[in-house]
Amino acid sequence: MARLFSPRPPPSEDLFYETYYSLSQQYPLLLLLLVIVLVGLLALLAVAWASGRELASDPGFLTTMLCGLGGFSLLLGLASREQRLQRWTRPLSGLVWAALLALGLGLLFTGGVVSAWDQVSFFLFVIFTVYAMLPLGMRDAAAAGLASSLSHLLVLGLYLGLQPDSQPALLPQLAANAVLFLCGNVAGAYHKALMERALRATFREALSSLHSRRRLDTEKKHQEHLLLSILPAYLAREMKAEIMARLQAGQGSRPESTNNFHSLYVKRHQGVSVLYADIVGFTRLASECSPKELVLMLNELFGKFDQIAKEHECMRIKILGDCYYCVSGLPLSLPDHAINCVRMGLDMCRAIRKLRAATGVDINMRVGVHSGSVLCGVIGLQKWQYDVWSHDVTLANHMEASGVPGRVHITGATLALLAGAYAVEDAAMEHGDPYLRELGEPTYLVIDPRAEEEDEKGTAGRLLSSLEGPKMRPSLLMTRYLESWGAAKPFAHLSHVESPVSTSTPLPEKALSSFSPQWSLDRSRTPRGLDDELDTGDAKFFQVIEQLNSQKQWKQSEDFNPLTLYFREKEMEKEYRLSALPAFKYYAACTFLVFFSNFIIQMLVTNRPPALTITYSITFLLFFLLLFVCFSEHLTKCVLKGPKMLHWLPTLSVLVATRPGLRVALGTATILLVFSMAITSLVFLPAASNCPFRAPNVSFTASNLSWELPGSLPLISVPYSVHCCVLGFLSCSLFLHMSFELKLLLLLLWLAACCSLFLHSHAWLSDCLIARLYLGALDSRPGVLKEPKLMGAISFFIFFFTLLVLARQNEYYCRLDFLWKKKLRQEQEETETMENLTRLLLENVLPAHVAPQFIGQNRRNEDLYHQSYECVCVLFASVPDFKEFYSESSINHEGLECLRLLNEIIADFDELLSKPKFSGVEKIKTICSTYMAATGLNATSGQDAQQDAEQSCSHLGTMVEFAVALGSKLDVINKHSFNNFRLRVGLNHGPVVAGVIGAQKPQYDIWGNTVNVASRMESTGVLGKIQVTEETACALQSLGYTCYSRGIIKVKGKGQLCTYFLNTDLTRTGPPSATLG
């Protein structure tokens, strides 16, 4: 039972819970209690009038009734004002309790002879409703319940103790009353504890659901922003749907498909312009930068370019080192796409000129633009990057490569679309590359109309140089200047990811202050943390309170039938009825308390006939058996020490909690046992008998007449049988999770049985008791509540309707609790799916070890992510034959089918990354048909430098095996596609700088001489071979691989290099081979 009284939560949650509890749950019950009392008083007057009693002859009773009607009507008027009730909850509850107590005491001394059993049922009603229907705390309710009990016992004890000894023994009756009141207090406290526990759980789940919804909304926004930072909206929706389906189905990286191809997310767009831009002189400048300076410089530069692109309706496609390219006319067609690209190119050149003038750093911008059509989309399974492909894209790239620094180089197709918007001049074709010379088409340089207005003297630059000092490195000078541009940090929108929800969810102060003026500025009681979300929090908080309000059970709802409270979804109704109920054992235990109270009462007020004793003995045995079944799991240790044949007993408790059929049967049987034993004493009385006290020759002076019928029980047991029947009604309310219809059936059955018993078959017993009480006063008739049969009938109906109201309330909140738990589970699952989606998307942009830097709850995004590594192996693997394979014709849907094959190649390469042995390989990007990857990036910064050479470069072997696996994959594709593609691979290892740049489309990349040389190893390589530098060859030989010299070759930007081919036909040989060198 101790588990029922859970620890009090933090004060902030108590405050919100009390607000909800008084408004949504106890407020309707208080109104119903007042209505029930008023209807009961009217029913008393009606019964008194219908039974032929002269109301005027009993002015005390009439005055009590009229005062009660007036007082409770006034209280109902006060309680009907919600705002006033909320502010004066405790005083109003105290007034209602005091009025009920005064009414009970008034009825006690009006209407006839005062007896020990008078108004016990009414005081039992007061005690139970104080717990179940008044908005009081447990302590206040317990104090009121005990005060009610003691007031009745003390008043009657003092009053009757001073009377002549003309009534049966007083002490046994007072003891029976004390047992009744004690049982009422325990049953009421039990009911309140269970209901408060259930309501608090529902409230917590509702608030958790509210916070979960907010978190889900936040997560949806984050993943939407994240997805849109990778892909255009039209493509993001399509790919998101597939990822969601994959997550919910629990599939691997490759979704099921009706064919053997991977999904292709590529579409053709016509009427676009492509811009390529390259920063001239940046490679030399980058070599002088620290890792932080390099990443900051790139982020600021490309952040500025992203701003320019947004201004001119261009979409950045990708960043390749210091090369930036974008497209105008995607995803929506734009009539001015050519003008947009030219304007952007001019603004980029202008920004670099200002940078050069301000810092004196010798860099420039070379821009090429071409207009035509493109295939755009995403290929591969990992590290998605939106890209474009077509011959027109290739031409735009060559326009940039053959352009003039500081100028925008355009083709004739772009010039035609400019429609004279810009003046141009012919480009010197003798400086063009072979690709353009082969095409033989004239190209043009755009004349910037604002170039003449700009001052190129570098005044600002000289000023900055003089301020910073003449000895400052150009890279640092440039970094200082670029910081003034204020480019956004990558994933800045993920900086406020909320921490996991707690059960005590903080709510806005506005929501609290809206409930009561006295709480409006009480910050000491209001939790902090959501001031920036007040409006949203207020609205959602009010929605939760409204959904928890018990008055909604009578209104149309999407979830409930307002009449039956059944769930509208049949599956949910079935799930609710089949749900487990661990608290059933407590229901049974408290019902046993009611049964035991009835037993004690009947032992006190009867002469304990043997038949009654035997009946109770059998019933006790049945109850003990029931309790043993319910609590058998708590006896596991004892049972396991006994014979093996009894080891199955602890499972009985689990069966009762989880099997609804067995639970309903046991619950119904328990209640029926209490019912039957409440009237057992009457069974031993005859159905009809002549009452000896009605004889005309009986004198009123015969005070020594016995209170017992000849051969039967004492007459005083009759009203106590009524009180035991009332306890039987209470036993129904103890099964909180019992269905309303079953409670209604049992209550109706018990009401019919009790009324039939006391108003019909055994009504003579009540008449006989009245005759004995009013011996000799033949003309005197007792009041309605002084006659046991009428008192019993009125009590039965009052308890019937009261418990029916509570049963309906309990049913509603049990179902509401189930509904909120189910909604919370669904929202948590959806949130988890969204979080997984966000994680997958982020890890599709960033390496797994970098992603937590941007989604951790403590991430503030104040600094750019950058990391330097001492030993990273970089791989470039290309399929050069694909350029010749690619063609654009109507047969292959203008190149779409060629890209489908490239998608298969890249996707198969990506599938290798999911193998455990390649877990250290990180895909960086794809550049057309070139695949770039690296190993050694998941090492801690500085860790490699502290290790010896063999350990620090051991991941080179993983990269070699990965390159060999790429070749094997390509062979399989060749076999199925009837092609003869061959792989050309370049490897190099050494120090690199890694970082995340770009706010619009954040991108993880690596930079450094190691990357540049690896790219040259691939571009100068041979088909089917893996070309490496001399240093990498030495490192691989130490790992057991064989390399042989290719000789000296000319490498662009590096001069003459001695390179080696890796002998991929041999596995690790153990001792180093002599072929190196």
Cα(922)–Cα(841) distance, rounded to whole angstroms?
15
Return the bridge partners of 932, or none: 876, 925
Q: Which position has the token pair 């109003």? A: 92
Cα(261)–Cα(246) distance, rounded to whole angstroms?
16
Contacts of 926 (CB under 8 A, 6+ apart): 379, 380, 383, 385, 387, 906, 932
Q: Which two tokens stand for residue 408?
A: 């925008």
Backbone angles phi, psi at 162, to 5 degrees: -90, -5
Cα(316)–Cα(312) distance, rounded to whole angstroms?
11
Cis peptide before 331 (omega within 30 of 0): yes
Backbone angles phi, psi at 274, to 5 degrees: -115, 130
Pairing of strands 866-878, 1026-1029: unpaired
Give the CA dihedral 818, 823, 826, 832, nearest 10 degrees: -120
Cα(703)–Cα(709) distance, rounded to whole angstroms?
15
SS3 labels along 786-844: HCHHHHHHHHHHHHHHHHHHHHHHHHHHHHHHHHHHHHHHHHHHHHHHHHHHHHHHHHH
Categorise residue 113: left if φ over 0, alpha if ψ from -120 to 50, beta otherwise: beta
- Comparing CA positions, the residue from 283, 860, 70, 204 lying closest to residue 503 is 204
- Comparing CA positions, the residue from 767, 828, 804 lying closest to residue 209 is 828
Question: Is the CA virtual torsion 96, 97, 98, 100 positive or negative?
Answer: positive
Return the bridge partners of 878, or none: 930, 984
Backbone angles phi, psi at 982, to 5 degrees: -130, 150
Asked if 412 and 444 touch (Cβ cutoff 8 Å), the reply is yes
Q: Which two tokens stand for residue 177?
A: 């009353």
Question: Is the CA virtual torsion 568, 570, 572, 577 positive or negative?
Answer: positive
Contacts of 575 (CB under 8 A, 6+ apart): 822
Rounded to a whole number of angstroms, the CA Rg of the chain reads 44
Pairing of strands 984-997, 930-935: unpaired
**Residues, the chain:** 1077
Q: Which two tokens stand for residue 1033?
A: 């060859």
Cα(132)–Cα(191) distance, rounded to whole angstroms?
7
SS3 labels along 716-769: CHHHHHHHHHHHHHHHHHCCCCCCHHHHHHHHHHHHHHHHHHHHHHCHHHHHHH
Cα(842)–Cα(863) distance, rounded to whole angstroms?
18
Q: Which positions are annotated as active-site residues?
A: 1016, 1052
Pairing of strands 866-878, 921-927: unpaired
Concatenating the DSSP letter of every residue in 225-245 gives HHHHHHS-HHHHHHHHHHHHH
H helices of 942-1077, where?
Answer: 949-952, 955-977, 1009-1019, 1030-1038
Return the bridge partners of 366, or none: 278
Degrees to nearest 5, angle at CA 435 with 429 and 440: 55
Return the bridge partners of 1044, or none: 1061
